[in-house]
Amino acid sequence: MGGNKLRLGRVLGIELKLDYSWFIVCFLVTWSLASHYFPMAHSGWPTSTYWSMALVTSALFFISIVTHELAHSVVSQAFGVPVRDITLFIFGGAAHISEEPRRARDELLMALAGPATSLALAAFFGLVWWATRAADGPPHAVAGWLAWINMAVGLFNLVPGFPLDGGRVFRAIVWSATGNLRRATAAASGLGRLIAFGFIVWGIWQIFDGNWANGLWIAFIGWFLDSAAASSYQRLALQDALAGHTAREAMMSDCPTVRRRLTLDVLVDQVVLPSGRRCFPVVEDGQLDGLLTLQRIKAVPRERWTSMRVEDVMIPRGELKTVRPDEDLNSVFERMVEEDVNQFPVMDDGRLAGMIARDNVLNFIRLRTEMGAT
């Protein structure tokens, strides 16, 4: 997560974001095509031709990756699983699917849509490559590389371990065979780490064999896959645990509310310290006016606590992000991370129903895990 992403706009209602690591890839691809690949494959063309070919190829490669991710998203939306955004990062893309698919078959088709699209693009560029073979000009060279790279992306993503698409395919198969999503997730993640380990061993073997540049790349991909497998497992395990639960189940409904005219010294002595809570809805005549957090109080110098009132430091109602009681816990937790807030007031028809904080969500899971409930 974090803020190191560039917003590109919306396609088919899905927000496209670019992780800054993508620029490294874009530069490396363009540079290596212009200065190595194209001059080696077709010597004797002007340098400017190699560079313009490389730029066009990078742009089409970028569009290919976006198309792969859009394919996942379109299929997932067709199954009623919303996709909020797609982030393109160093090794390709990631569609941000905010809910788990409900059926193994949906998951299987969602996962296969991406690699199938890449292979279709490979076939398309292969056809262009074949049709332009007589002229043997820049279009032929560009199409050839794009056919090869899309095939590589399609096949690599079919490797059956998380976080790759093949990992989701594998999980869907185990899920439909066992009927147990949690066991399927663990199996796909374990296989993902095993495959990552295989890449690392293969890379190290290549390095000792003298192919240090290739070996370093392979080992690096293995290391990346391993950490991604571990983190995608944690995220999926969290999603599985939260699935089907709502904000109402995890919220606190006995929040001490405070009035806007209260001075901070009185508030701290009479409400904050006795309650042990960290945030306080400001309610007047049954209406939520704002929210006061411990952080906001601490930001005011202590000597001013006698003169400052709740209304001077609270987050006003208009700036508050709220959730509904029937909102899915996954979406509540994702919004906390995305909007970088610790808690949301839970609003039911304009009335404050409770508060939900990160701690509440985590405690909710911990308690249910300990009790063996799901």
Give the interface with Zn ion as residue ranges (CB under 5 A): 114, 157, 165
Closer to Zn ion by Cβ: residue 93 or 222: 93
Q: How far is the CB of 233 from Zn ion (least distance, A)?
A: 17
Q: How far is the CB of 20 from Zn ion (least distance, A)?
A: 21
CA-nearest of 263, 264, 266, 258 to 289 is 258
CA-nearest of 192, 188, 187 to 225 is 192
Closer to Zn ion by Cβ: residue 94 or 323: 94
How far apart CA 78 and CA 92 sit, in angstroms, is 23
Neighbours of 351 (CB within 10 A): 11
Closer to Zn ion by Cβ: residue 154 or 290: 154
CA-nearest of 249, 236, 233 to 363 is 249
Closer to Zn ion by Cβ: residue 171 or 248: 171
* Nearest-CB residue for Zn ion: 114
CA-nearest of 146, 151, 144, 152 to 41 is 144
Q: What 3-state class would DSSP assign to 179?
A: coil
Q: How far is the CB of 114 from Zn ion (least distance, A)?
A: 3
Closer to Zn ion by Cβ: residue 76 or 157: 157
Encoded tokens for 208: 């000792």
Q: How far is the CB of 191 from Zn ion (least distance, A)?
A: 17
How far apart CA 54 and CA 47 sit, in angstroms, is 11
Neighbours of 85 (CB within 10 A): 20
Q: How far is the CB of 31 from Zn ion (least distance, A)?
A: 26
Kind plus residue range of the DSSP H or E element containing 348: strand 343-348
Q: How far is the CB of 95 from Zn ion (least distance, A)?
A: 7
- Specify whether the CB–CB gap between 20 and 6 falls below 8 A: yes
Closer to Zn ion by Cβ: residue 68 or 248: 68
